[in-house]
């Protein structure tokens, strides 16, 4: 099945949108209903304890799911985050990570999916369940 968006279109989107550009997200891979992004370490991501802040993991999961939805519905899709639950399972200290999102169910009104953030050594750092509302 052909994807509704190209790799190049998603790379351009990540580079053009100020929110995603600020995090430095880089597209790793896309497939039908899936997307993986790389999140480089930035000193500004650290909490006072020296670990990467949870908000960075949540932003990565949200963006990865947003892009995964675009593989099905195209770049102009206006779906928005309706809910996210995050379980922090490990910490990242001065390290990059990858977040991979996968659509579980693409409904008429809601999109359900999961995302996982893993460290460079493969450790599972966070698990996210994400719901998007379709306009």
* Domains detected in the chain: 7-133 (3.10.129.10)
Check: pTM over 0.85? Answer yes or no. Answer: yes
Q: Where are the beta strands (DSSP E) in the chain?
A: 26-31, 34-39, 80-88, 97-106, 110-119, 124-133
pLDDT (0 to 100) of residue 1: 72
Among 128, 126, 88, 89, residue whose Cα is nearest residue 112:
128
Mean pLDDT score of the chain, rounded to an integer? 97
Q: How many other β-carbons are positioned within 10 Å of the β-carbon of residue 133?
A: 14
The strand pairing partners of 36, in sequence order, are 29, 100
- pLDDT tens-digit readout, 17-73: 999 999 999 999 999 999 999 999 999 999 988 899 999 999 999 999 999 999 999
The pair of structure tokens assigned to 19 is 């929110």
């Amino acid at each position: 099945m052909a994807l509704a968006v190209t790799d190049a279109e998603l790379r351009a989107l990540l580079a053009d949108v100020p929110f995603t550009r600020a995090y430095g997200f880089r597209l790793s891979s896309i497939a039908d209903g899936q997307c993986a992004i790389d999140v480089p370490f930035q000193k500004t991501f650290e909490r006072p304890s020296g670990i990467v802040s949870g908000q960075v993991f949540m932003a990565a999961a949200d963006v990865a799911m947003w892009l995964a939805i675009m593989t099905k519905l195209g770049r102009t899709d206006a779906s928005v985050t309706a809910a996210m639950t995050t379980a922090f399972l490990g910490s990242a200290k001065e390290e990059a990570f990858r977040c991979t999102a996968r659509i579980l169910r693409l409904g008429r009104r809601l999109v359900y999916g999961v995302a996982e953030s893993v460290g460079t050594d493969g450790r599972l750092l966070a698990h996210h369940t994400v719901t998007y509302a379709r306009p």
